Structures are given as structure tokens and as C-alpha cells.
Structure 1
Amino acid sequence: MNTAERAVVLELRGVSRVHGEGAAEVHALREIDLTLVEGELVAVMGPSGSGKSTLLTLLGGLDRPTSGEVLIEGQSLADLSTKQLAAMRRRSVGYVFQDLNLIPTLTAVENVGLPLELDGASRRTARRTALKSLEDVELAELADRFPDEMSGGQQQRVAIARALVGPRRVLLADEPTGALDSQTGEAVLRVLRKRIDRGGAGLLVTHDARHAAWADRIVFLRDGQITDTTASELSAEALLAAGRHV
């Protein structure tokens, strides 16, 4: 199935985000149009201050655009109340950050199941669903270990399992392998890619061209604007060269 035949999961339509007013005004994003379909992973590259983190916060409903529209599975976030937006984030959107934000006093399975419990699931149901998510990242045998009893790569896989637990199909990842060695980072990206291939959609912010190569396409940001988009069939060296010229 080609991209045109897949359902749209994430969409930005003419999105801009402006911080401050007057002389202090900063355009974090300028008229961004971006669409992600099911089964698609898009990498975002660009220098510091280019708007990458702002893009993630808008897609995840953590902030609202100054103008334009953000849609998740056809639902415009502008039409949602604060309470509805929080529910949308719990049910549809998963985040993976370099700072994993795992709760140290909870086991792996408890960390993964927590979003489900917050959304009203019973502890038994949350555990069963969380175990399935841990199986998907090949960590079911560590379900009852605490974060400090796991390696960095294992903790990152727990974070991915939590991000995609239950019916969630949207994954937003901000430098998810930044604190890992190259081999562990590749293993984490392999897990992420596998989950996206099962019908989700994901946006991966990274500065590493080798990691961007796991995506279906790469978007380059500079000064809040998309300056180039390229297919990820390019080598890491070619991606780095493209990034230097945007």
C-alpha cells in the first residue's frame, strides 16, 4: 500500500507559533504544513532553535498554535476543551524523551500501565495491557523490575512501551537515543520502527543522520520553516550533507 492509500494520522495545516509581542516577538514556527500517515515514521532534523521541540509540543497538544490547525486522526485539537485535550493525549499520543521520566518507585509494568489507570482502567486490566506492550519491546521478563535495576537501553524500551500502550497510534520522540551508546540506540530505534510499521505514525526529532535513516522521510527545519524534505533511502553521509545546506 503506498502512502496515498494510507489513513492520515497526524496533520499540520498552515501552523505558526509566535511567542511574545512587539520587539520581543519570536516566530518559533512559520506556516508549517505536514502530514503523517499510518505506518510512517518522519524524522525532523535542524539546528538548535529551529522549531523542532515546538513542533512536538503542538502535535502532542501540549501547546496551541498561534494560527493554523493541528489534527490527530481527523480531530482538530482546536475544537477540544482542556479536559478533552488531556483525554486525547492519554488515549492517542505517546511521548518518548531523552529524559525518560520513568517513576523510580514503580516497576516497569507499573510505569507502562500508569496511563491506562489514569484513564480509568482497573489495575488488573492495566497490567495485562502493559505486559503485552512490554512483550512488543521484548522486555516482558523484566516486568517487575524497577528502573534502577535495568540498563539505559532497557529503560528506553520501557519508555517506548509506555508511549504506545493500549490503543495509542501516535508516537512523538525527542532525541530518544541521545543518552545511549550507538549499539543500544540502534536497538531502541529498531523497536520504535517495528511499532510504527504495525499501523502507528511517529515523529522522531534527532541530530544524528544514522538515526534519521530509520525514518521513511526526513524533514529539515530552520528558523521555524521546513526548508527541505528528502526520502531516507539516502545514506547517513548524504543526509548530513543535505542538512548542512538547509
Structure 2
Amino acid sequence: MSTTHTEPRPPVLHLDQVSRVHGHGAAEVHALRGVELVVHPGELVAVMGPSGSGKSTLLTLAGGLDSPTSGRVLVEGAVLGELSRKQQAQVRRRSVGYVFQDYNLIPALTAAENISLPRELDGVSGRTARREALAALEELGIPELADRFPDDMSGGQQQRVAIARALIGDRRLVLADEPTGALDSTTGEAVLAVLRARCDAGAAAMMVTHEARHAAWADRVVFLRDGRLVDQSVSRDAASLLVAAATNSVKGPGE
């Protein structure tokens, strides 16, 4: 009787001993120190840690928005540092969806236009890109915002539009920096459910969060402190216990 072996799927994201140093001499700051992290298809990874631990730096490097001082960042097997700027931009448009803390919406474009712009830049027809944008808005529960400009939206509405932009098309990697920060608890849970569904459908995602209840949606929770990856859970069931343990470990005396 023959036995079928399933080959492990290659990672969507691999941070290979990544370090990032800002400044020089006395002003030198080690934002990340030798971080080794792999994120596979279907996996949602939550990143936690105290302020200044390197969480946002980790995301900007993973998305190719900054370059490591040492180490390598691979997205779907491509080493970002070995690509031209044009090739890196193509990877970001086609494979990576990024949710910024400050949303980064273009004020002169409507919600639907902001969402569809990356697709149009990649050669998708305007009609198809708008149809995809409307579907993304529907998925986030805000179809009525399609023709509204950012200045006519609340902060929470802008955040959901930014999330829709990150999810449009076949994004294999979604990076989210505090994606529920401007949302009420009910809307935040709905957004996390959408992100979870995308991962369950085969995408990979990494989100920075300071909320243990949000980290509980993840398959793994990784903890950064002083630029180092100091701990991580191994399953979604262990997440809440690990969150509590790590939170206690990073508190200083009297906190």
C-alpha cells in the first residue's frame, strides 16, 4: 500500500536573521536584532510587544518599504534586496497588502478609487478594478462609502477603506499595523473575522496589535522586546495564555 506524503507549502514571508540599525555612532538605534520569522500560507501571525520594541519596523521591512541593515527578507521566495526598485514595487502591488496606522488614503480620490488604484497601476482595467473595489467595500460592510472622499469619512471609516485596499485582488501577504485601532469593539471584531477568513482561504497575514483579545484570532503570537523576538505561541489555543505571560514579563517594577 502506497503512502502519500504532502509536501509542506513554501512560506509566503521569511525574515532571515533580519536586523535594522538607524543612525550612527552615539545616535545608533538597533530597531531589530537578528529576527528569524517564517509565515506560511493560511497563517495569521500577531505581533506584540512594548512601545519601541520594533513591531512597526518589522512590518515595514516585511512589506519592502524599508531595507534591513543585515539579513534577508523573502516574499514568496523572492529576496527583496536582490530586486530592482521597479520589481520591488511590483511585488508590493501584486503580492502585499499593507494597512498603515495613518491609513495613507489619497484625499483627492474616493474610497473606491483609493482601493482600485493599485490594481489599475498593475494593468487591470478601470471597470474590473472598480468592481473588485466595490466587492472589497461590501466585504468590510461599508458599500455606501464607495463614492465618498476621505475628508468626508470618520477615522474608523477611513481605516476600513484602508483595510479594503489591502485586501483587493489576490494579495498573498497582508500586513496590518494596529488594523482595529480606530474601530469600536464590534466593528473591530468584524474586521478581524474578514482577515481571518482571508487566511483560511490561503493568504498569509501579520498584524501588530496591543490587544490580547485581538491576538486570540491568530494562529501564532510572536513577542518582540528591544528588537529581538523573545517568545512565540505555537497554536491559536495557546495564544491567550502566552499573551498573559509575556505581558507580565515585559512590565517593569511598579507597572
Same fold (TM over 0.5): yes
In structure 1, C-alpha distance between the alignment counterparts of 2:175 and 2:100, rounded to whole Å: 8
1:6 aligns with 2:9: yes
> Counterpart amino acid of 2:182?
A
Size of the alignment, in residue pairs?
A: 244
Unmatched 5+ stretches in structure 2: 1-5, 251-255
Q: Tell me the distance in 2 between the aligned counterparts of 1:109 and 1:45.
A: 32
The answer on whether the counterparts of 1:98 and 1:179 sit within 8 Å (CA) in structure 2 is: no
Q: 1:125 aligns with which of 124, 128, 135?
A: 128
CA distance in 2, matches of 1:32, 1:138: 36
The alpha carbon displacement at 1:49 in A equals 0.9
Within the candidate set 158, 162, 166, 2:161 is matched to 158
Query: Could you list the per-position Cα deviations for residues 48-83 of structure 1 after superposition, in whole angstroms to 9, with x for gaps in the alignment?
Result: 111111101100101111111100001010110112
Structure 2 partner of 1:244: 248
- Could you tell me which of 216, 221, 234 is aligned with 2:219? 216
Structure 1 position 237, deviation (Å): 6.5
Matches within 5 A, 1:111-122: 111-122=114-125
Q: Is the 8 A contact 1:117 1:123 kept in 2?
A: yes
- Name the structure 1 match of 2:54: 51
Q: 1:120 to 1:173 in 2, by over 3 A?
A: same
User: Which one has a bigger Cα radius of gyration?
Assistant: 2
2:189 alignment counterpart: 186
- AA aligned to 1:240 is A
Any idea what the Cα deviations from partners look like across 1:185-220, whole Å, max 9, x if unmatched? Answer: 112111111122211111110111111111111000
Q: What residue in structure 2 maps to residue 73 of structure 1?
A: 76
Structure 1 residue identity aligned to 2:222: V
SS at match of 1:99: coil
1:107 maps to which residue? 110
What SS is found at the alignment partner of 1:177?
A: coil
Please give the residue correspondences for 1:132-151 in structure 2 after superposition, counting only pairs within 5 Å. Answer: 132-140=135-143, 142-147=145-150
- Comparing 63-72 with 137-146, greater Cα deviation is found at 137-146
CA distance in 1, matches of 2:201, 2:242: 28
Whether 1:232 and 2:226 are equivalent positions in the alignment is no
1:176 counterpart residue number: 179
Question: What's the secondary structure of 1:8's corresponding residue?
Answer: coil
Is 1:91 the counterpart of 2:94 in the alignment? Answer: yes
Counterparts of 1:21 and 1:10, CA distance in 2:
29
CA distance in 2, matches of 1:183, 1:98: 19
In the alignment, structure 1 residue 61 sits paired with structure 2 residue 64: yes
Shift in Å at residue 152 of structure 1? Answer: 4.7
1:155 deviation in Å? 3.5
Q: Which runs of 5+ in 1 are unaligned?
A: none
- The alpha-carbon deviation at position 238 of structure 1 amounts to 5.4
Among the aligned pairs, what percent are the same residue?
A: 68
Provide the rounded CA distance (Å) in 1 between the counterparts of 2:53 and 2:100: 18
* TM-score where L is the length of structure 2: 0.87
